[in-house]
Amino acid sequence: MATTYLEAIREGLFEEMDRDPNVFLLGEDIGIYGGAFKVTAGMLDRYGPRRIVDTPISESAIVGAAIGASFMGLRPVAEMQFADFISCGFDQIVNFAAKCRYRWNAPAPMVVRAPCGGGIHGGPYHSQQNEAWFAHTPGLKVVLPATARDAKGLIKSAVRDNDPVIFFEHKALYRRVKEDLPQGDYTVPLGKANIHREGRHLSVITYSAMVHVADEAASIVAKEGLSVEVIDLRTLTPLDEDTILASVRKTSKAIVFHEATLTGGFGGEIAARITEKAFEYLDGPVMRLAAPDTPVPFSPTLEEAYLPNVDKLVAKIRQLAAY
């Protein structure tokens, strides 16, 4: 039976909590209520209040408690109810958790789960893609799964990792994406991209929900004779630069595609690395497609106009293919 993206994350957490008694969860409404999106439903009954900890509405306190617990040999998984409000715990994450290993060789094995992204009409405070904040911070690992298989395998790898991991879960994928998962205990390595779709003429480098948009756009232009390769980065830090460059050297054209706003987005970093390290292979400019530099609109009509989509990507593919 196919498993949804949401259920895959839940399965991964169940398995890691069964495997390691030092793993525990904390966050707002994750216990009795089962989480805002029901990812943690049923866990309080199974593990009890010592391992499923309902917290006050204070992201700073949640992150701080997780850091302290990680120093004491535990492996906390902290939930931010929405990725937007991770900003309230930002100082704890970037100025403490990220730097502890560097400053005094104190690992902080913790995961911060961050439901992110638009497409749910959540408005400017419940829809952001703010992964670039953390990819810019040495010491943090940044994970953004696009598929159910990867969501489970990556959450398990994140829990086992000895560095702090920011785990972005796209809300629009929770119940829309499903697939059959491998049997038994499996993980997906951090720092390894996936060639989601093989192609010859052009590379689309993307991550999170935009992987599915890219796949649909590639199917449309395939009818026109264009073969598009879709690279799913899966993690931004560590970044699998080798897979990106190998794809661009094969196709000679690249579009970097993400949902986050354009200016200062992680796509600029990818484009720069392609230009620096694969320039002689390029047969056209490295192009970017992202959201405009505005807050996410609340109006469904405006949100639809704001978000990158299949039609916008198809137009960009055609433009670059004709260059």
Q: Annotated catalytic sites, by residue?
A: 126
**Beta strand 287-291 pairing with 75-79:** unpaired
Residues with Cβ within 8 Å of 265's Cβ and at least 6 positions away in sequence, in order, are 132, 258, 288, 290
CA distance 208 to 34: 24
- Distance set, CA 179 to CA 3, 80, 229, 237, 323 (Å): 5, 26, 21, 26, 37
User: The tokens 């390894």 sit on which residue?
Assistant: 192
